A and B are shown apart, each in its own frame.
Chain A
Amino acid sequence: MSNRIITPVKEFEDLLPQEYKDLVADGPFFAEKGVDDLGTFKEIMEQHPHCAGCGEALGMRLVLAGLPTPQDTLIIGTPGCSFFGLAQTALNYSNTAFGNQNAVASGLKRMLQIRYPDKHKDVVVMVGDGGIADIGLDYTLHSWFRKEKITTIMLDNEVYGNTGGQESGMSKEGKVLNMAPTGKKFPKIPVFELAKTSGCCYVAKVTIASPKKIGKVIRRAILIAREIGPTYVQLFTPCPTNLKFAPDQTLKVAKEAEKDYYPFEEFISDDAAAYLAKVEQAKGDGKS
């Protein structure tokens, strides 16, 4: 999208809502912004209806701030907590049926390559842990096997949040939750490891306690998906409402998880590493 498309003509400018005008004047669309710049520009998701202390809302905000080219980014979701915030972003966002996100994204990415052969349209899947690890696991894996050039981001809050705190495949073993009245009987599904063996060229695991790392991995994941192949980012976004901790403890919970069992990990294939070295060198950064 060129900035001419969003810039209103003078005659109609005063009819548009202030929010829209702010996005045009101070948004992230045509002046490159990142996680480091938060607080200095109009964000594409500012308001959201999530619970107080929601880790997922913070995770989405950081991911969106890390998008390298938001003006050409399209997000595919699935019903769940994430759709409340994402539906209010200044991006094209679609969620339709349950768990089908990587199949929808495959069709969309291919059609956008047909319609815009000379442009990068970044198709990003952003959904919860249940959407990827349970109901959508086969579609996720198959999109990776097929080497679809899309980025998949899991907002892992280790529980079904929107439906009221049920066990998901990503819940911790032993955790007592709705539908797991005597505790979960098996460990977290190893989606991170599956991504590495299923065709992803770049895989990262990070928590919301490390915002700069989020900015960096999102940028890398999207750039690599443009040229090399599928990428996966697993983002720990704890849920105070359903995991029963105080809303002001979210970052503390994330920090502790980072120490205990959710350490930062990054995997990059040789061809993706070579490509990344080229683009990061050309840009002179490794910008986060």
Chain B
Amino acid sequence: MNIEQKNVSPEHILFEAPRDKAFITGSEAVAEAVKRANIDMSIAYPITPQSESMHLIGDLYAQGYIKDYYRAENEFAVMAAVHGASLGGGRVFTATSGPGTLRAAEMFPVWAGSRQPIVCGFMCRGISLPPSIQPENIEMTFLLDSGMLMFHAENAQDFFDMILKGYAIAEKPDVHLPVGVFVDGFFTTHTREIVMLPPEDIRLSPYDPKCSPVPAFDMETPPMRVVRDPLLNKSNFISYAANASWHQEILAAAERSKKYINHYMNGLIEVDNPKAKILIAASGTAVAQSREAIRDLQAEGIDVGLIKVKSIRPFPEKEIQAATENAEIIIVPEFNAGGWLAREIKASLDHNSRVISAPRIFGGMPMPKELIVNEVKHAIKKRA
């Protein structure tokens, strides 16, 4: 390691430490976060657009910031090995994209069920067929009920912060769930922007496995006659009830995480101009495009507000209900064909005919601000 790093609290690194400007890509922002996260082990497998960030994490290993790192044989192997490493009681990081996410999907509910505070980056891209490596976040819809906490970053700054905040939230004894930090690939990973970084001579304090609600898997915790994972599928009512209560506890832990999300992320959502009758609700880079559209609409005298949804799981149902109380039109632009965010919002609201699931962009197309502007104008016309 080139520099001595001092262990500090999440509060210090996130809120108190001075920050300096860096002009970096989203992939570099991931490495900057991992450098300050005191990771024990990271495991990689290449897929576009995730690869660059995991190369940079390999460099951090070579420089001594991480104690172990290797390239595994595929994404399922990565997520399984990260699970094994986390069982062993240390802090881990990995990342993947699109098809890799789906290939590894059997492991994500295992992480949640094993109550592991794993943080994983998802650099979202298209899923075949037809094949696309381009930005698209359809993979998120497959993970909504995996038990993982899901945060959606708007830009490289969010990506950097949400990884560190992810560890702070995931490792709380009353949470202890995996965190997925999602970005729309390429738009965020492969473009350069200004990111404010705390100094590199500080890092999070090490993970303490004794703060876990389930013992570390290291043969150091009696009694030994324990099954480390949720109960086996024996066919009797007690087993069913125990299994069900384990799942309920995962949902309850996600609910308990809200207070920490509020503390570290300043809320599950962010609202600009909440009094506007027309709102755009978005997550990821669609938020950035919505900001541009709103600037144009305001210039034309059309009053439009913005809801940025940062936490997808737990979903900010009540917060969105409160923020849309007076809204007449809610436009939900998304980078996927399914429109999963609009579905989530519709399911949370009364009078959900107010919610318009458009524009939906996919296949690698960009989302010009004009498309959002047109949707707003179209909705106004239709309403009149």
A interface list, Cβ under 8 A from B: 1, 5-6, 16, 19-20, 23, 49, 71-74, 76, 83-84, 87-98, 100, 103-116, 121, 138-139, 142, 146
Digit string of B314-332 for contact with A (CB within 8 Å is 1, else 0)? Answer: 0000000000000000000
Q: Which A residues are CB-close (under 8 A) to B224? A: 6, 23, 90-92
Given known pairs A83-B232, A105-B84, the reply for A111 and B225 (CB within 8 Å) is: no
B232 lies within 8 A of A84 (CB): yes
Whether the pair B219, A72 counts as a contact (CB closer than 8 A) is yes
Contact between A89 and B80, CB atoms less than 8 A apart = no
Number of chain B interface residues as a range: 35 or more
Contact A108 B227 (CB under 8 A): no
Whether A115 lies near B90 (C-beta < 8 A) is yes
Q: Which A residues are CB-close (under 8 A) to B87?
A: 94, 104, 107-108, 111
Flag if B227 contacts A87 (CB, 8 Å).
yes
User: By the criterion CB–CB under 8 Å, are B218 and A106 in contact?
Assistant: no
Q: Assess the A121–B218 pair: CB atoms within 8 A.
A: yes
Q: Is the CB of B80 within 8 A of A90?
A: no
Task: Pick 8 A–B contacts, CB within 8 A, sort by A.
Answer: A16-B223, A71-B219, A92-B228, A107-B84, A109-B88, A111-B90, A112-B88, A139-B73
- A109 and B85 CA atoms in complex are apart in Å by 7
Q: Which of A87, A103, A114 contacts B80 (CB 8 A)?
A: A103
- Distance A115 CA – B70 CA, assembled complex (angstroms): 18
Which of B106-114, B142-150, B334-342 contacts the other chain? B106-114
Minimum CB distance partner of B71 in chain A: A146
Residues in A neighbouring B82, C-beta threshold 8 A? 107
Q: Please indicate the chain A residues that have their CB under 8 angstroms from the CB of B73 in the complex.
A: 103, 138-139, 142
Q: Which residues of A contact B300 (CB under 8 A)?
A: none
Residue B241 lies at the interface, judged by CB distance under 8 Å to chain A: no
- B40 partner residues in chain A, CB cutoff 8 A: 111, 114-115
Q: Are the C-beta atoms of A108 and B217 separated by less than 8 Å?
A: yes
Q: Which chain B residues lie closer than 8 Å to A114 at the CB level?
A: 40-41, 67-68, 88, 90
Known: A97-B110, A98-B106, A104-B80. A1 touches B229 (CB 8 A): no
Checking A49, A103, A146 against B76 with a beta-carbon cut-off of 8 angstroms, the contacting residue is A103
Q: How far is the CA of A114 from the CA of B42 in the complex (A)?
A: 13
Q: Is the CB of B43 within 8 A of A19?
A: no
> Chain A residues with Cβ under 8 A from B43's Cβ?
107
Report yes or no: A142 in contact with B77, Cβ–Cβ below 8 A: yes
Task: With both chains docked as a complex, state the minimum distance between the C-beta of B356 and any C-beta of chain A, in angstroms.
Answer: 39
A76 and B218 contact, CB distance less than 8 A = no
Question: Beyond A20-B225, A87-B232, A92-B219, is A115–B80 a contact (Cβ under 8 Å)?
Answer: no
Q: How far is the CB of B142 from chain A (nearest CB, A)?
A: 16
Across the interface, name the chain A residue whose C-beta is closest to B67.
Answer: A114
A142 to B78, CA, bound (A): 12
Binary per-residue interface labels of chain B (59-98) against chain A in the complex, 1 for a CB within 8 Å, 0 otherwise: 0000000011010111011101111111111101000000
**Alpha-carbon separation in the docked complex, A20 to B223 (Å):** 8
Residues of A within 8 A of B80 (CB): 96-97, 100, 103-104, 107, 139
* B131 adjacent to chain A (CB < 8 Å): no
> Is A6 within 8 A of B222, CB to CB?
yes
- Given that A104-B87, A107-B88, A139-B77 are contacting pairs, would A19 and B218 also be in contact in the complex, using a CB cutoff of 8 Å? no
B223: A residues at CB distance < 8 A = 6, 16, 20
